Structure 1
Amino acid sequence: MNILILSPEPPYPPVSGGRLRVFNVMKELARNNNVFLITFVDKEEELKYRPELLDYCKDVALLSRNHTVFTKINSRLQALLNKKKTIMLSRFYSPVFQQKINEFMAKYDIDIVQLEHSYIDVYEIPVYTGRKPAKVLVQHNLEYKLIEQQAGARWPGTSLRRKIEGYIDLDRFKEFEINAMKRAGLCVMMSNDDRNQLAEVVPEVLSKTIVVPNGVDVEYFQYYSGPRDECTLVFSGFMGHFPNEDGILWFFHKVFPYIKKQYPRIKVFVVGRGPSKRIRNLENKYSQVTVTGFVDDVREYLNRGTVFICPLRMGSGTRLKILEAMSAGIPVVTTSIGCEGLQVEDGQHLLIADSEEGFATKVNQLLEDGSFRTKLSKTARSLVEDRYSWPSIVAEYEKELQQLVKG
């Protein structure tokens, strides 16, 4: 099959959850198929990774989104003045991107166009060969749910701008996203939880919706049984993603004081590119905190830490960060939303708590009990080996694509 992937960000280097998923699916599909990629890049330095992408793709187009302060302000003004526009879609529409789609569709006999995220459906897919390609919509999140959570966030760490943008976009983007799912030949969700939510808003697409869960490279994230730093917490993720920022700010404002009271020598590493000023300021407020920004290899921190924290309060899909931690052998404390969609059990594969004191209690429990940490981490590793390896996940997905092409 000839598969064209349209992505809002380059899958290489795979330094965030969304990139990791696209990269691993792309890599596995490329074993038996011809894969083509069109993607935005936000930084000029990302252009240098084209050779790595060509290891898996027959052709690659890396396009600058050219977002300036003016274009950002203009997109918000347009959304305020025109009820048919949304801030979200304006961020990802580019005439150059559309032109490149047209070129690839004219040049290559594409069987499947795979859209990464619903907002990429803002583009038209032209037909040149007389045979319309199948459209696959990969829903990393139910985006309207994220906007809804953003608009309704009720604590001081949430900026007024984000709330206002959420209120402006919510109904408009929800309508767009529902129609995008209706237009697709196949919808892909990250978990059964996400798929079940569709029954409430767009039940007619359930018959063409499948679950392709996130996975982990168990060879890359090998189980580490060596020495670890004492009393060290680790969080990893793209800090430019609002749910990650919100979760970390909530953790430090509400949860961390309980932990620090019992473990005054506690250390916390917040690992991941794109930390905002508010996240950076945590280093000034707490001497125990290190905000690393981008790192070449997150395994260094996963192998150092005593406990991995994932204090998410919003979002959908499944968290690759949790799968990576479980694969690497660092025990996890998360919220119900943090592990939503994963086939895990509280107390067997990880620990779950949603309240401030409850989350702190679970972290302290693991800091206190080394044998429990080992037991939890080994059970978690077995789970990811059995259910979440990328080759087996993508092999099943490839069968679905073959059926879609056959009609």
Structure 2
Amino acid sequence: MKTILLATDRKFWRQEQGSAKRISDLYKYLVRKKFDVFIFFIGKLTNTEIDLIKLAYDNEFKVFNKGCGFLSIDCNTTAQSDILIKGKLLLKKKTRLLRNLFFNKSLTAHNKQSEKLEIINFFSQEHQNYFRTVYQELNPQAIIVEYIRLAYLVQDFDKVGTQSLTLIDTHDVAYERYQRFRANGESEIRITAEEEKQLLSRFDVILAIQNKDKETFKEMLPEYHVIQVGHPSKPKKHEFLNKLPINITYVAGPNASNKRAITHFLEKVWGKLIAKFKHNIKLHIVGRICEELTDVELPANVQLTGWIDDLESVYEEADIVINPVYFGSGLKIKNVEALCHSKPLVTTTVGAEGLEHGINDAFLVSDHPKEAFEQISTLIESEEIRKKFSDKAYAFACQNLAEDKVYRELYQVLNNST
């Protein structure tokens, strides 16, 4: 069994945003494929976080953390559990099984990035030294680092005599993300293309989340191994429901681009839809994006649900899914999920990045409020057209978004590692 050390500073077990769900799904896939996966987590691991880990997984969760040392968490126990920390057996209090911990603002509040925050701000000599200690103890066949901000972990790694394959999971092109957010008046981690190139060059394999990113990285580093690893989801066909009111659904996490997207939609599109269809439609907003909308005056027929652990039921009830995002980067995981749930999807050109071959076939794209109004109106008015896009979404998902297809290159790379 090959050993993999996965390094991250995201509490990915919470799965409250697409990027966290991507890491969580990757972790579960590697475990199912019989890799021995250890997590190197930079951050505070409280009893609450351990409880949430136990809720999220059903295997032994092995994690190295500077504050706690090594923890082996038995995710099959839901009452009192024993946790091994640095060889000492500690008794943990009864696990709290309250799912609403996921939506407790005091626990899940996210940090706003400062405009002055640069990639160098993430460097920690303490964590770098600990990572090297863990590496020498574990001697993994492969190391996967999540996000370029943690690339410092493998800086000068040749000095420790590493034989491991090193991989960086980029999630997006960081300098492009910075430029896009800045152009829209939002802050993001400051990084230049040259800085990103230097950081990526520390790794043997670069993971791009979509084809456009892959081409960018290959232009940056033509001699390096770049592979495309998107986000998979199990395609499923829900029973087609012809009912009123028509349920238009938006699922999102709490970030600036999502807030701007849905508030713009409410201002420019939703009012016209309500004027035309009145009580025959409703807008269902789901996820931690709801925390960002407490200061927004909501128009008629808009329901804020907040965090729901069971997204399956959300998509089952949805008739049309929207993602009116107009700035961002990477792959829009909420779009992947909508297509894999065989739902008619209306998004934007930005939202379709990485899924371009499905535009206006598997889903609809509109970059202006008038177009969005017309496309959504057509779907509302025609059961036949909704069903057509449902069928096409499912076919697209089966062909492009199934797990074995998305992870194929990565699996081959990891299997061939020494």
Tell me if both proteins adopt one fold, taking TM over 0.5 as the criterion.
Answer: yes
| 1:108 Cα deviation from its structure 2 partner | 0.5
Name 2:361's counterpart in structure 1.
348
Name 2:149's counterpart in structure 1.
119
Gaps of 5+ in 2: 68-105
Name 1:271's counterpart in structure 2.
286
RMSD: 3.0
| 1:392 Cα deviation from its structure 2 partner | 3.6
| Alignment check: 8 A CA contact 1:258 1:360 kept | yes
| 1:41 Cα deviation from its structure 2 partner | 5.5
Aligned to 1:364, the other structure's residue is in SS state helix
Aligned to 1:285, the other structure's residue is in SS state coil
| Alignment check: 8 A CA contact 1:41 1:47 kept | no
CA deviations on 1:310-362 (whole Å, 9 max, x unpaired) are 11112222222112112223210011110111154333211111111111111
Q: Distance in 2 between matches of 1:271 and 1:374?
A: 23
Aligned to 1:12, the other structure's residue is in SS state helix
Q: 2:50 aligns with which of 47, 50, 55?
A: 47
| Alignment check: 8 A CA contact 1:105 1:128 kept | no
Q: 2:40 is aligned with what amino acid? A: I
1:223 aligns with 2:274: no
Name 1:60's counterpart in structure 2.
63
| 1:9 Cα deviation from its structure 2 partner | 1.2
Q: Compared with structure 1, are the counterparts of its residues 205 and 37 closer, same or farther at alpha carbon in structure 2 (3 Å cutoff)?
A: farther
| 1:149 Cα deviation from its structure 2 partner | 1.0
Name 1:175's counterpart in structure 2.
194
Q: List aligned pairs for 1:80-95, cutoff 5 A.
A: 86-87=117-118, 89-90=120-121, 92-93=122-123
Name 1:104's counterpart in structure 2.
134
CA deviations on 1:240-280 (whole Å, 9 max, x unpaired) are 23322222122122222332232232321221125444x22
Normalized against structure 2, the TM-score is what?
Answer: 0.79
Q: Distance in 1 between matches of 2:353 and 2:223?
A: 19
Q: 2:258 aligns with which of 235, 244, 247?
A: 244
Name 1:139's counterpart in structure 2.
170
Q: Distance in 1 between matches of 2:354 and 2:318?
A: 25
Name 1:82's counterpart in structure 2.
none
Gaps of 5+ in 1: 80-85
Q: Distance in 2 between matches of 1:54 and 1:331?
A: 31
Normalized against structure 1, the TM-score is what?
Answer: 0.81
| Alignment check: 8 A CA contact 2:9 2:41 kept | yes
Deviates more, 1:365-374 or 1:7-16: 7-16
| Alignment check: 8 A CA contact 1:24 1:390 kept | no
| 1:191 Cα deviation from its structure 2 partner | 1.4
Q: 2:248 aligns with which of 221, 233, 236?
A: 233
Aligned to 1:263, the other structure's residue is in SS state helix
| Alignment check: 8 A CA contact 1:234 1:271 kept | yes
More helix by share: 1
Q: 2:225 aligns with which of 180, 205, 208?
A: 208
Q: List aligned pairs for 1:72-87, cutoff 5 A.
A: 79=116, 86-87=117-118
Q: 2:411 aligns with which of 388, 393, 398?
A: 398
| Alignment check: 8 A CA contact 2:247 2:283 kept | yes
Q: 1:289 aligns with which of 298, 302, 307?
A: 302
| 1:56 Cα deviation from its structure 2 partner | 4.8
Q: Compared with structure 1, are the counterparts of its residues 261 and 199 closer, same or farther at alpha carbon in structure 2 (3 Å cutoff)?
A: farther
Q: 1:216 is aligned with what amino acid? A: S
Q: Distance in 2 between matches of 1:62 and 1:217?
A: 32
User: Alignment identity in percent?
Assistant: 18
| Alignment check: 8 A CA contact 2:358 2:396 kept | no
| Alignment check: 8 A CA contact 1:140 1:189 kept | yes
Name 1:83's counterpart in structure 2.
none
